[in-house]
Structure 1
Amino acid sequence: MAALSVLDTELLTQDLPGLAQVAVASPIYSGERGQIEYRVAGDARNPAVLMLHGLGSSSAGYRAQLAGLSRDFHVIAWNAPGFGGSSPISGQDAGIDDYADAVEGLLCALRVRRLAVLAGSSWGSVVALAFARRFPALVDSLVLSAPNVARGHLVGDARAAELNAWLRTADIDIPVSRAAIADKLLAPDAPPLVRQHVERLRDAMATEGWRQAIRSLFTISTPDIISAVRCPIAILSGTLDQVAPHRDHAARLLAAAPSATSYPFEACGHMLKLEAPAKFNAIIRQMAAETWSEASIAK
């Protein structure tokens, strides 16, 4: 990938906001109450932007968005249920709609009435789509980064075999080289600063939360639901993504939702928010501006 720009470097060297927790009321939790951990930056009176991380990540992956968007937006990045200090969903078999319910509970707890942009990366894009389908009045626009078609189309023995294969690897006690993880997630020549951040993202993972999230991927097929989402959608994909190659994931979503806008990230891998943070942030701003303009015209 290309060398980081001065702005990219500035965004990636900013300190993360501290972690906070909020009590959330929802039937997805034991006793119908849980805690969600999150980071926040920016004035709560500004338009809200919520960031949803992927399976092997956390709110820390949105360092550059919390830093770069906070002047104009109320930026929130969660740790999904079962990640970091967030309460896990009750039981083992969490579905994707349970995570959508958790997002709604978080917004209620934080008194956020509407999102200018809901951004999801990888597995987070799956949660974002499920949320936008279920709660359309709460979302003005979607940004899906390195999106995933999920595995809900699988049935029978094929489903069981693939799910079990995923679950066998989902154990934080299995020794895995951080460098090897970064090699898979990033473009081959990713700058050391980007690799450094990516190698730390698994720190907020717990085995059971990871396994719950994996199971949820097998409860939905995103090409089947994206056409039901009525808000503007931006689909971001890295041309060197080894985890969710464009042809297998983003291209299928674009085919199912022709009105969505495609944004290729040349020479980038799976972690677009860290590999090209200034470009990522510019798309967030563009989506927010376009939906604000459309809302103004409608009035």
Structure 2
Amino acid sequence: MATKRSELIDSENASYYHLVSRCVRRAFLCGVDEESGHSYEHRREWIEKRIIELADIFSIEVYGYAVMHNHYHLVVYSDPLAPQKWTDEEVAERWLRLFPGKLDDPKFALQRELKLRALIEDHSKLAEYRIRLGSLSWLMRCINEPIAKRSNKEDFVKGHFWESRFKSQVLLDEAAALACMAYVDLNPVRAGITTNLENSEFTSIHKRLRSISQEKLNQSVAAIAGKVRNRTMTIPLKNYIELVDWTGKYIVHADKAKIPANISSTLEGLNLNKDSWLNELKCYRSNYYRAIGPIHLLLEYTNKIKQTWVKGISNIRSLYLPPG
């Protein structure tokens, strides 16, 4: 029996999450269908654009994503209680941006203003919308529903486009979030779609590289989209890009897997075991399940969701350096 989403996602505390949604049909979400020869590549842009749009509406920050042939990945920092601090007008404005209907047409500007004022006066609805704008379930719903409708219309079909439940994985510390980001960014390389980051289209690493500058390289890793708090990660963007780039080269050329000193230093700074990094990242999908983080945080999480066992304990011991 599946665990309730409310038990897996903390509705009161901010945290990093890895989210995955998969297409239910045999037909590709994106890419080229080998049987029909029809290309669905344009749908990748739909999804990427939708993710970036919603990051400015929901109380999230997007740190990583990859849009693949039949699924997509997201790494986000979510603060579910942030909307409680927003003004009534801000909540109403965000909700109208989320569900504009015909009101996004400039000729309906007056009607939009009237609707906005009506929402601001409706305190019970605003209370509900605050909860929804802090909800990852609502985020995924608002990504998936419009994509499903556009895809079904394009394919002249009806019915489910996505699996009914998206997968969620809590990332219990920054090291876990960075490891997950690297795993997500390297999806096209692992899938054999490309051999380098520069051609890994519709991924967060590709987006970062397109807007790179010397100034950004020396700054800490920041969100690609969205702003919940004035916060960044601890490691410089330069170090993260070097880590992902070298790991990608190892995936392509496994016989040249000697870890250079700068990569070792980055991993040790994150309290990650350099000797286990390659294997753990390569087997990330099968090695971990609901949560990733150091043992003490993983045990706290298991306690919280009232489970006596969670997959990945032995792999966590291998991934993280021993305490002390």
* Shared fold per TM-score greater than 0.5: no
Identify the structure with the greater helix proportion. Answer: 2
More strand by share: 1
Return the TM-score normalized by structure 2.
0.27
Query: Larger C-alpha radius of gyration, 1 or 2?
Result: 2
